[in-house]
Structure 1
Amino acid sequence: MRLRRRLPIQLILVPVGAILIIILIVSLFRSSPEEEAKELVHSFYKYEQDADFGSSWELFHPLMQERFEKVDYIQQRNHVFVGHFGTDTFKYTVEDPEKLKSWQMTKNTTIFHDVYKVPITQTYKSIYGTFTIHQDVFVVKESGDWTILWSYQ
C-alpha cells in the first residue's frame, strides 16, 4: 500500500503569493486610458509652454494635422501668443478626463468612440494684463497612438 504524501502548505502558498505580488506590481505600473489621455494633454501643453510648436503639432490627430500645415501652425502659434499677446509662456492646468461614448470634431467628420474630453486652462500674463483661456481638448486613439483634437462645432 502506498502512502500519499501531502505537500506542505508552504509549497502551495509561496507560488500563489508570488503570482499575486507580480499581478499587483504589473497593475500598479500600467496606466489607465484616462491617465494616458491626461498625460498626452500635459505633454502637448508642455511643448506649447516651451514654444516647441512642432512637437505639439506632432501630437495632433491626422484631422487636425490636415487643418494646420506644420509650418503654418508653428508660425501662427508663435505669432499670436508671442507677437500679439506679448507673452513668451503661460501656466496651464489639466483637469480630469471625462470619457465620452462618441464625439465629432465637426458635423462633417468621423464620429469617434471612446473619446476623452480633457478640460484645460491656460493663464497668460501679457502686456495687456492677465487673461485665461478655457478649452476642452479631445483625446482619441488613432493607429494605436493617443492623439489630440479640438472641437469646431
Structure 2
Amino acid sequence: MKRQHQLRILPIFIGISILVFIFIVLRIFMFGLSNQATQTVEKFYAYEQEGNFSDSWSLFHPYMKQRFTKSEFIQDRAHVFIGHFGAETFTYEISKAEKFDKWTPENGQNVVKNGYKMVVTQNYNGKYGNFNFQQVVYVVKHKGEWVILWDYN
C-alpha cells in the first residue's frame, strides 16, 4: 500500500520539478542582464518619444549628468528635435546588446566596466523629409541601477 502511494506521488514530483526548471530558465532569459540593459534603453527612448526629457535625463550615468544639467538637456532636446527637425516624435530600433568588459566614454575619463553596448536608430519624419539618426548607447550598473552613457571618443 505504501509503495502504491509513493508511485502516485512520483509523477506529481516530476511535474513540479519540470515546472520549477522552466520557470528558472524563463526568468533567466526574460530578466537576464542584457535584457535589463535593453529595457533601460527602451525606457529612455520611450520617454524621448513622449517629449519627457526630464525622465530620460534621469536615466543617465552621473558622468552624463555632469556634461549637461537637466534644464540644458530638456531645452536642447526639444529645440533640436522638435524645433530644428520639425518632428513631433520618432520611431526607434535598438540593436542586440553586446557585452563589453571595459570602455572609456571619453579620453581622460575613468574606465567603465561590465556593461552593454547597443546601437539605437531613431527614424524621424520631419519638415525636411524622412531621416535616421543613429547613436551608440552604453549601459552599465551604477549603484545598483542601470544607467546610460554616450560615446564622446
Unaligned runs of 5+ in 2: none
Separation in structure 1 between the aligned mates of residue 65 and residue 120 of structure 2, nearest angstrom: 20
Deviation at 1:36, TM superposition (A): 0.9
Greater share of residues in helix: 2
Partner of 2:93: 93
| Structure 1 residues 65-111: Cα deviation after superposition (integer angstroms, max 9, x where no partner) | 11110011001100111111111111111111000111111121121
- Corresponding residue for residue 78 of structure 1: 78
Deviation digits for residues 39-82 of structure 1 (CA, Å, limit 9, x no counterpart)? 11111001001100001001001111111100110011001111
Partner of residue 68, structure 1: 68
1:4-83 correspondence runs (5 A): 8-12=6-10, 14-15=12-13, 17-30=15-28, 31-83=31-83
Q: Aligned partners of 2:105 and 2:8: how far apart in 1?
A: 58
Q: TM-score, normalised by structure 1?
A: 0.88
Q: Report the aligned-residue RMSD.
A: 1.7
Alpha-carbon distance between aligned partners in 1 of 2:84 and 2:73, rounded to the nearest angstrom = 15
Q: TM-score, normalised by structure 2?
A: 0.88
Pairs within 5 Å for 1:85-124: 85-124=85-124
User: Aligned partners of 2:130, 2:15: CA distance in 1, in Å?
Assistant: 56
Structure number with larger C-alpha Rg? 1
Is the deviation greater in 41-50 or in 23-32? 23-32
